[in-house]
Structure 1
Amino acid sequence: MKIEIDLPLCEGHAQCEIIAPDYFEVRDDGLAYLLKDTVEPGDVDLLNSVVQRCPTAAIRLRSTEADPQ
């Protein structure tokens, strides 16, 4: 899985950084940035929590598996 941030939606509330500081950092410009974009297998639940708690819905997880045809 990959993590994506829609920067135009980000308002820098820092919930992502508080919940998952190994993955996110809110910088001086007030926006969240990824420290790594690939989800470690044991962190899926943690990052689902980040997605659910982002006040502006700026963060999402995307499957990296190919879609079955």
Structure 2
Amino acid sequence: MKVRVDTDLCAGFGICVGICPEVFELHDDGYATVLVSEVPPELEELVRRAADQCPTQAISLSGDSSD
């Protein structure tokens, strides 16, 4: 699975970082960034949860095996 954060939509709430700090971090500009090019299988559920809970829907997933 790949994950992307749309910085045009991200408002910097940091919910994703709280859910899965192994994949997301808040960059110096205050917006979330992705730390990995491919999400490890053991973190996919947390990344899905982060995407679901993002208030601005800035997180998109591709290659999601649950589709």
Q: Normalised by the shorter chain, which TM-score bucket?
A: 0.7 to 0.9
Q: What is the aligned partner in structure 1 of residue 55 from structure 2? A: 55
User: How many percent of aligned residue pairs carry the same amino acid?
Assistant: 38
**Aligned pairs, how many?**
65
| Cα RMSD (Å) | 1.6
TM-score normalized with structure 1 length: 0.85
User: Gaps (5+ residues) in structure 1?
Assistant: none
Report which of the two structures shows the higher radius of gyration computed on alpha carbons: 1
- Give how far 1:34 is off: 1.0
- Structure 2's unaligned 5+ residue stretches are none
Runs of 4+ in 1 over 6 A off after TM superposition: none
Displacement of 1:27 after TM fit? 2.2
> Normalising to structure 2: TM-score of the pair?
0.87
Tell me if structure 2 keeps the 8 A contact 1:4–1:37.
no
